[in-house]
Amino acid sequence: MNNEELKRLAAAHGFAEAYFLPPPDFARHEDEPHIVWNTEEHPWARVSLLLVWSYAPYPADSRIPSYYINSNSSYHACVALARELEAAGVRLKRCELPVKALVQRYGVGVIGRNSLIALPGFGTRVVFQTMLLGKADGHGFSPEEYHVKEDGLCAVCRACENACPAHAIGEAGYEVEKCMRYYMDGADYPEWVYSVQRTHMGCEVCQAVCPRNAHIVPVEPPEEIKAAFDINALAEGRTKPARLLVGKNFTGNGKLQKEALHFLMRGEEGER
């Protein structure tokens, strides 16, 4: 198996693109300080594989988090792909890689004012799944070259800065602790987050107004997803269908129920 064959296999699992980059050669990067990388732990690695899952948002008046649903789908697709590769004798490890640093260093995409990765053709509406690939008999994977350059758009555009409900984007750039998604891993949020939140589990406002995403047409959620995120059902604690869609690790401690109750307290009854 080679790069092109793996790309076709990844596409069969639902991935829109696959990038083959060198393994990280740094311990930590300022854009992703939570990822501490030990370059000596994986001497067998030859390639950082960045799998791209492309998705469309739901309409602006929907509270359903398209990103998290697609993130969960891409995770399971990556697990299935990894199993197939391992069965074919490929040495690999699914792990969290410093994607932003790799994307910037090797010309895959650009980092916007909102700190999100933008890829040509996909904008910022992407989810990354990552793994390391090693050399094995009958398999030849190798890094490829990419040449995306900074387009200067963020230097003149203030769309995300003006639209951010949390004022997390300004002249100083993106301030992570002001972004409501910074609090999404916790069991409860500060009151100010609930007061400005419009989408379950976070906010997609900066993506909705970004010119790089203008070509991406929103899609209606399937009826199954609408039913799972019925606000009254969530408020009553019937959250299992929604949790299965977005992943249980993201929705523990009654998170979806608390969000639904706050939406109802603001007078947002029923499906908008």
- Mark which of 103, 134, 165 sits at the end of a domain: 134
Same domain, 187 and 125: no
Same domain, 177 and 112: no
pLDDT, residue 267, reads 78
Same domain, 57 and 174: no
Percent of the chain surpassing pLDDT 90: 70
State the Cα–Cα distance between residues 112 and 117, nearest whole angstrom.
6
pLDDT, residue 39, reads 65
Same domain, 202 and 160: yes
Span of 11-15, 202-206, 264-268 with lowest mean pLDDT = 264-268
For the chain, the domain total comes to 2
* CA angle, residues 17, 71, 143, in degrees to nearest 5: 30
**59-89 tens-digit pLDDT:** 988 999 999 999 999 999 999 999 999 999 9
Residue 251 located in a structural domain: yes
Same domain, 126 and 159: no
For residue 110, how far is the Cα from the chain centroid? Answer: 15
**8-19 tens-digit pLDDT:** 999 999 999 999
Residue 271 located in a structural domain: no
Same domain, 9 and 107: yes
Residue 181 located in a structural domain: yes
257 confidence band (pLDDT: 50, 70, 90): very high
pLDDT, residue 272, reads 39
* CA angle, residues 82, 84, 89, in degrees to nearest 5: 90
Residue 193 located in a structural domain: yes
Residue 211 located in a structural domain: yes
Span of 123-127, 135-139, 180-184 with lowest mean pLDDT = 135-139
Residue 130 located in a structural domain: yes
**49-61 tens-digit pLDDT:** 999 999 999 998 8
Same domain, 110 and 14: yes
172 confidence band (pLDDT: 50, 70, 90): confident
Same domain, 124 and 160: no
**179-199 tens-digit pLDDT:** 998 888 777 899 999 999 999
Residue 148 located in a structural domain: no
For residue 53, give its domain range.
Answer: 3-134
Same domain, 256 and 174: yes
Residue 84 located in a structural domain: yes
Same domain, 128 and 40: yes
Three-state secondary structure of the chain? CEHHHHHHHHHHCCCCEEEEECCCCCCCECCECCCCCCCCCCCCEEEEEEEEEECCCCCCCCCCCHHHHHHHHHHHHHHHHHHHHHHCCCCEEECCCCHHHHHHHCCCCEECCCCCEEECCCECCEEEEEEEEECECCEECCCCCCCCCCCCHHHHCCHHHHHCCCCCEECCEECHHHCHHHHCCCCCCCHHHHHHCCECCECCHHHHHCHHHCCCCCCCCCHHHHHHCCHHHHHCCCCHHHHHHHCHHHCCCCHHHHHHHHHHHCCCCCCC
270 confidence band (pLDDT: 50, 70, 90): very low
**84-123 tens-digit pLDDT:** 999 999 999 999 899 998 999 999 999 999 999 999 999 9
Same domain, 118 and 165: no
Same domain, 12 and 88: yes
* CA angle, residues 11, 18, 247, in degrees to nearest 5: 75
